[in-house]
Amino acid sequence: MKSIISYAVISFVRRYPFAMLLAVQLISVLIYGFLSNSEASHIVFSSIGLIVPILAVWVVHRSPAASWLGLVLVVLAIGLSLTATFTQQNSLLIWAHTFESLLYFYAATGLTMYMFADDVVTRDELYAAGATFTLLVWGFAFAYSVCQQIVPGSITAAMNPDMARTWVELLFMSFSIQSGTGIGDIVPVSNAARAISSIQMFTGLMYIAVVISHLVGLAASTKANNNSD
């Protein structure tokens, strides 16, 4: 029974790799929310942070994007993150998060190219649409992290407004802005942070207007063709 389940899981992952990436990102959101401030929690957090970029590069290998660029970005991001963790040089986190942000934007671009590569909507492309959304959220969350490290006080909140925002808070704000829900208990206040959030608002709108409408249009066209046959 276990071998049958394992084979089914492996087959699903090979057929729908974007579903795996999306699942890992959504599950990691829940894990982040329940982590404490203990040392063990930080180790778990760092491990998840290393897994997601590797998965992002792996799935982009299947897209038309230049795979070598993703490999360079993930090596730089992981190398700098590990160095910063073991040497306690927090200044290196600025560069690590910069490269991680670029990595997620690169992966999102690769998945978008994949979705526009043909005129057929597959189940894998639907998973890719969800994964692309979360990749953009992660990319902007790391951009906000870089921003608040360079310009302290760039992002404030209703509770403990003078403290630097945690990763969960930055991720929550990124989800709020990207989705257009506009939950305003965590807000950008510096010019730099507001510039990043303005770009994210534009990106979120264009994602819906271009990518989602493209998939919906193809799905409707395919259904119409099938009905006519």
What mean pLDDT, rounded, does the chain reach? 79
**Domain 2-228 belongs to what topology?**
Helix Hairpins (1.10.287)
Contact 48, 100 (CB under 8 A): no
Q: Is the confidence at residue 144, as pLDDT, over 90?
A: yes
Local confidence band at 31 (pLDDT 50, 70, 90 cut-offs): confident
List C-alpha distances in Å: 196 to 23, 147, 158.
26, 9, 20
Percent of the chain clearing pLDDT 90 (strictly above): 21
Terminal alpha carbon distance of the chain: 42
Q: And the tokens for 207?
A: 């994602």
Give the per-residue pLDDT at 143. 96
Rounded Cα distance between 54 and 65, Å, is 15
pLDDT one-digit tens code per residue, 179-204: 887 777 899 999 999 999 999 999 98
Query: Domain residue spans in the chain?
Result: 2-228
Most confident of the following: 71-85, 106-120, 121-135, 169-183: 169-183
What is the mean pLDDT of the segment spanning 103-107? Answer: 87
Give the per-residue pLDDT at 211. 74
List C-alpha distances in Å: 206 to 26, 99, 119, 180.
22, 24, 20, 12
Q: Is the confidence at residue 107, as pLDDT, over 60?
A: yes
Phi, psi of 131 (to 5 degrees): -65, -35
pTM of the full structure:
0.84
Give the per-residue pLDDT at 38. 57
Give the per-residue pLDDT at 217. 65
Local confidence band at 10 (pLDDT 50, 70, 90 cut-offs): low
